[in-house]
Amino acid sequence: METIQAYLERKHEELRLLNGCLRHRLDLPRPRSVDDIVRSKFQITAALRAEQELHDWKATETAWSHTADRVSGPFEFSYDYQRADLTVRGPSFYEFDRGCASTAIYTASGMAAIAAVLLASAHIVEKADILVLPGSYGETLELIRGFVAHLRHVTLSLPLRVAFASGNSPRILLLDSCSLAGAFEAALRSDGSGLDLLVFDTTCFAGRSGRIRRVLKWARRYGIPLVLVRSHNKLDSLGAEYGRLGSAVFVHGNETRQGAGRPEWTRLASETRNAVRLLGGAALPAHFPPFVGSAAYQALTKRRVAAILHNSRRMARYFAAKLPARSAELHFTHGLYATLRGKRPLDEASARQAADDMSNELRAEGFPIRHAGSFGFDFAATEWFHDAITDQYSVRVTVPDLPTELWGDLTAAVARWWAAHQWAGREG
């Protein structure tokens, strides 16, 4: 259990790390509340971006100046016109075993990364099945159904049994960190030898998560070519959403199963790079957080994520006991949020309104909660949530990095509010 005092000291360390990246540090007092922490973080990150623009004015989109520094903290960049050939040198957001080789392609967002990979796969396979677990990210499924015509969307259900067995078409598994916990675990207990490619969206796991290492080992065991895709403005920015940044990381060494009619996935990285160029999805150097990579950053990120996961487990137990009929899903594999359902079925508008009303009323009571998308903040965030597989709407409550007692009080307040309102959306 983390006390308020210990929490504020830890947050002061985070602010010092961020502030230390500025050439002209801000004069900030020690934080005395969650609001102080949130305000200071966004002030510092805004100052970082502004300072970088002022200092690196020669590093324009046209790359006209050969004297431009083109750096952001530990990251160094080289590129020609419009960043079509952007090359990045710097620390990895992941922790790979020694001897594990990889190629990272950075993009303007997580969706830009996965879109480029899936569209590029058309140059490797004419047709393929893409297998999707329950709970996968809705916009990714929307992308596949609407724009990736060569991939046949297959939604899996438990038990998986022979779901990964070889078929008449190549089989791609989309393993999403948004998946339901049971489905994710079932996948890693399955025989993956029939899979031709694994695309793993790691966005909801910390970069050094043990679950990522488990997937790496599982893919290596079955020789499955592996691509890690990620949005970096969630868990990689100390709760401040520094800038829109995504990546596709191609892990080398699993492609030895080529031949015997298998696709040549060794070409996927180069085809993805070309897709990023043609789609105009290259990353902005200004969006690379300059505080990444140090031992202090890794330690603070580890402590942040540990606090969030601890809070998440407490919330799931509380909602299960107090809101058994109104809990939509409490056990996503990432543990970053839970969803609540209404007394009657919700649509997008009523779910959005419920999230807004609950946040406003509880914030007026003094709780650190806001109606906001995304997750990983130092405040609780609510938003409407759509399950793309069941086509049902709910309200998402994201778990913040807060001290234990305060989070317990906020969890109880959310449960009381929801039970009292039993939000009634449109008639079913």
398 lies in the same domain as 345: yes
218 lies in the same domain as 331: no
What stretches of 248-372 show up as alpha helix (H) in DSSP?
Answer: 268-279, 295-322, 348-364
Q: Give domain status of residue 170, yes or no.
A: yes
- The residues pairing with 380 across neighbouring beta strands, listed in sequence order, are 369
Domain count along the chain: 3
Residue 112 carries which side chain, given as an amino acid letter? Answer: A
What stretches of 98-232 show up as alpha helix (H) in DSSP?
Answer: 110-120, 138-147, 181-188, 210-221
224 lies in the same domain as 283: yes
Domain end residue (candidates: 226, 260, 287): 287
CATH, residue 313 = 3.90.1150
Sheet holding 75-78, edge to edge: 71-72, 75-78, 87-89
Domain end residue (candidates: 230, 255, 287): 287
265 lies in the same domain as 315: no
CATH, residue 200 = 3.40.640.10
**pLDDT for the residue 171:** 96
244 lies in the same domain as 363: no
DSSP strand pairing (392-398 vs 380-387): antiparallel
Give the closest residue to 51 by CA, choosing from 88, 94, 22, 16: 22
92 lies in the same domain as 220: yes
321 lies in the same domain as 410: yes
Q: Give domain status of residue 298, yes or no.
A: no
166 lies in the same domain as 218: yes
**pLDDT for the residue 427:** 39
Distance CA 114, CA 132 (A): 14
**pLDDT for the residue 241:** 84
**pLDDT for the residue 423:** 56
How many Cα atoms are found within 13 Å in the side-chain-facing hemisphere of 306? Answer: 11
Q: Give domain status of residue 263, yes or no.
A: yes
Q: Give domain status of residue 47, yes or no.
A: yes
**pLDDT for the residue 58:** 82
CA 77 to chain centre: 24
CA angle 240, 245, 250 (to 5 degrees): 130
Q: Give domain status of residue 297, yes or no.
A: no
Sheet holding 197-201, edge to edge: 102-107, 246-251, 226-231, 197-201, 171-176, 128-132, 151-155
283 lies in the same domain as 313: no
Domain end residue (candidates: 287, 317, 338): 287
Q: Give domain status of residue 396, yes or no.
A: yes
Q: Give domain status of residue 301, yes or no.
A: no
Structural domain boundaries, residue 15: 4-55
312 lies in the same domain as 283: no
CA angle 232, 234, 370 (to 5 degrees): 155
166 lies in the same domain as 87: yes
**pLDDT for the residue 426:** 45
Mean of all residue pLDDT scores within the chain: 93
List the chain residues with pLDDT less than 70.
256-261, 423-428
48 lies in the same domain as 75: no
Q: Give domain status of residue 185, yes or no.
A: yes
**pLDDT for the residue 225:** 96
